[in-house]
Amino acid sequence: MHVIEDRKEWCEIIDQCHQADFYHTFDYHQISKKEGEKPVLLRYSQGTSHILLPLLIRDIEGTKLKDATSVYGYVGPLGKNIGPDFNNSGFKKQLDNFLKENQIISVFSRLHPYISNQKEILKNIGDIVSHGKVVNINLTKSLDEQKQEYKRRLRTYINKESKEYEIIDGMCDTYLDPFIETYCENMKRVKAKPSYFFGKNYFYELLASRQINAELSVAIHKDSGEFAGGAIFTKKGNTIQYHLSGVKSKFFHLNPIKLLIDHARIKGTEEGYTNLNLGGGLGGQEKDSLFYFKSGFSKEHREFNSWQYIVDEPKYNQLLKEKEGLEKPMDKSSCFFPLYRQHMDSDNLEISKINCLANDE
């Protein structure tokens, strides 16, 4: 197993993989890593078959142990020449050796709904856990065919919004700070977990990276000239990702996000992209209001899974037992993984005091 940490080597090998999304890039891992987390790209080769697995390795507080996780988004392994009959035993052996040598007792990674061979790569290595669906707009269809899949009420709203707002692309110098502030206010309003908050540097570096290729689109209220809302979309390979968005509270009554997504759909189709991924519901749920909103754009859904692997079960269970004795009871019916981190990851931070326009700490 070859371990890559160097930027040049990471970039060169990811650029050779047509399936790679921005979530797999060196830049996104550097932007996303928290204090004490180390990004690595694992490379495995077997004849003409190759596997790449990006991870964030982190310490487990109060122990000499570590675990590994993925960046926020859709990640998982990348494979070349991996068919349905691929024998992954060699990959599993080398992966286990690397994990045990580094005292990594568990691995968690969100998987990518558009990468087809991840299950073949990971079969019999831990569990693949379903988290519902994501909504995809198929950009290979004509613009008219795409819009025919919109719910009638959505089409009505977009027609109204097009009279109220002007969509502007690429005006980061003028509108990025208002967007950051608005995004942060929206996350506070819905009482989002601290992991959904990002400092100013995150947004600036995200939009500056050529590897990530992110674009900010904003909605300007025509009558007042005010910034009403915005969305960040990324473009890599054949796929556009709807990454982050925010709307000023005074414009909630005619939310411009619908118009911003419609604008991205039209532009992406004209630029030759294949898919626009709108993501799923909160926590992968298919019955919440967020999923209902997104499913108004398309009837085409993709499966969203995560990979959960307990590498050293005795140490995992011992750590779980120790944490249960120190902290409030854990919800063992929860899909949270690893379970011993259920109350560890800064969820007690007072979100009302978060200032997204401050530099990242």
Residues of the chain within CATH 3.40.630.30 domain(s) are 2-132+304-353, 135-302
Average pLDDT, the chain: 91
Cβ neighbors of 231 (< 8 A, separation 6 or more) are 216, 217, 242, 243, 244, 245, 246, 257, 260, 261, 264
pLDDT tens sequence across 283-324: 555 567 889 999 999 999 999 999 999 999 999 999 988 877
- For residues 99 and 68, the answer to whether their CB atoms sit within 8 Å is yes
pLDDT tens sequence across 93-122: 999 999 999 999 999 999 999 998 999 999
Residue 255 pLDDT class (50, 70, 90 cuts): very high
Task: Answer yes or no: pTM beyond 0.75.
Answer: yes
pLDDT (0 to 100) of residue 97: 98
User: 2-132+304-353 belongs to which homologous superfamily?
Assistant: Gcn5-related N-acetyltransferase (GNAT) (3.40.630.30)
Q: And the tokens for 245? A: 């968005």
pLDDT (0 to 100) of residue 139: 98
Residue 351 has pLDDT above 50, yes or no: no
pLDDT (0 to 100) of residue 193: 82
Candidates 3.10.20.600, 3.40.630.30, 3.10.20.30, 3.10.50.40; CATH matching 135-302: 3.40.630.30
pLDDT tens sequence across 13-50: 999 999 999 999 999 999 999 999 999 999 999 999 99
